[in-house]
Structure 1
């Protein structure tokens, strides 16, 4: 709870994954991937209730009270399933009265509880409809570009402001706006900047290997972040 505002955290953990099958239960640094998110959510001082939405019996079995397991219906278990529909299902199951919904994907195991709480505070204090976490790009825009059909290189001349990328680690939103807009990225959405290593997202085996290598270093540099961004 933040003030008198109630906070629901949802951990969406479908069984299916096209990029890395079975990734939510894949061992990372000694424990299943999903456990890193469950532990970070459980340690939050602002989250009132944690709900794990999954069609995977192994994932649901990892959920311990006071957290709650919610079995997903088949309609929400396929690759085309919308995360907003999963949120609507969770809200229907838990009832009304939530001021914020926090979406915590298991594929961001390096995020800290401090990142979760900072995103919730930013949403509450700013009055924004939603907050998304981002990470700075590791190289300036002038190093980024595109390849044409014939292989020619076009470099980005650069844009005003710091280049960032959505990292998927924490999403915070107000339920009424989420259900109306069906997206976290709406007019007035704010960004919380996280160090790149804590925003590592896992979708492929490559991502998994990088996250495993980063794990001890991300924890060691928790206070400051790792020196990684080139200016």
Structure 2
């Protein structure tokens, strides 16, 4: 329930959902498991306990209607300069903070292209940021195969394996970003010195940018949501 957890300070959730998408047009409102994809991010916001308020930043009337129907209203209508393919998500966050006003201890960016994240991921990432004093926390997942499977192709077609490192790499999954507003706006991003990672299994951090991504997300859905006949151990080898 939004606002139930007050011990971490005031937390603002921002769902950025612009209309344009080059990889998968209309992806934010594409139907997934009976609901528009953006609705699942809003549902995760409802499940989270640390969020005091959630705003939807959009230039898409369909997204605005979905958010309003779910009780997340009124959406913040993006100006034209924040609505194109080159629009910066940090500029959208700054616009939302300026429009809303007030004091916020943490901003949580929740992209609708990560519909399999849970409310507990939002809570965990915010609490990690709060308890450690970190400037930001970024959702990450292990890469899908061990690092010994990865390499580079040279111009002549030769495969050269990467040099193994002591630790396995992770990838930013796009599912949850937490930042302290003053640090976030100064750095113009969530990455930087002191940023921590909130580790999520690859299936919960699945990011949808293409039709292929969406098909995989549909296949993962019943397993992540506990609706499959058998549990999914992991999508990672």
TM-score (norm 2): 0.92
Contact 1:12 1:54 in 2 (8 A): yes
Cα pair distance change 1:66/1:58, threshold 3 Å: closer
Residue of structure 2 in register with 1:116 after alignment: 122
Show CA shifts across 1:117-153 (max 9, x none): 1000000001000000100112111100111122110
Residue of structure 2 in register with 1:33 after alignment: 37
Show CA shifts across 1:63-96 (max 9, x none): 1335541110000000111011000000001103
Residue of structure 1 in register with 2:54 after alignment: 50
| Mapping 1:16-27, distance limit 5 Å | 16-27=20-31
Q: Does 1:79 align with 2:105?
A: no
Residue of structure 2 in register with 1:126 after alignment: 132
Segment drifting more, 71-80 vs 155-164: 155-164
Contact 1:42 1:50 in 2 (8 A): no
Contact 1:10 1:52 in 2 (8 A): yes
Contact 1:10 1:53 in 2 (8 A): yes
Distance in 1, Cα, partners of 2:30 & 2:115:
12
Within the candidate set 101, 117, 133, 2:107 is matched to 101
Contact 2:14 2:93 in 1 (8 A): yes
Give the secondary structure class of the aligned counterpart of 2:225: helix
Q: Which runs of 5+ in 2 are unaligned?
A: none
Give the secondary structure class of the aligned counterpart of 1:62: helix
Show CA shifts across 1:175-214 (max 9, x none): 0001101010010000011011001000000000000110
Within the candidate set 200, 207, 211, 2:206 is matched to 200
Aligned length: 229
Distance in 1, Cα, partners of 2:122 & 2:135:
16
RMSD (Å) for aligned C-alpha atoms: 1.6
Cα pair distance change 1:21/1:130, threshold 3 Å: same
Residue of structure 1 in register with 2:148 after alignment: 142
Distance in 1, Cα, partners of 2:13 & 2:153:
40
How much does 1:225 deviate? 6.9
Distance in 1, Cα, partners of 2:83 & 2:168:
37
Distance in 2, Cα, partners of 1:104 & 1:121:
16
| Mapping 1:178-193, distance limit 5 Å | 178-193=184-199
Give the secondary structure class of the aligned counterpart of 2:94: helix
Distance in 2, Cα, partners of 1:54 & 1:130:
24
Residue of structure 2 in register with 1:227 after alignment: 234
Distance in 2, Cα, partners of 1:212 & 1:86:
29
Distance in 1, Cα, partners of 2:225 & 2:152:
34
Moved over 6 A (4+): none
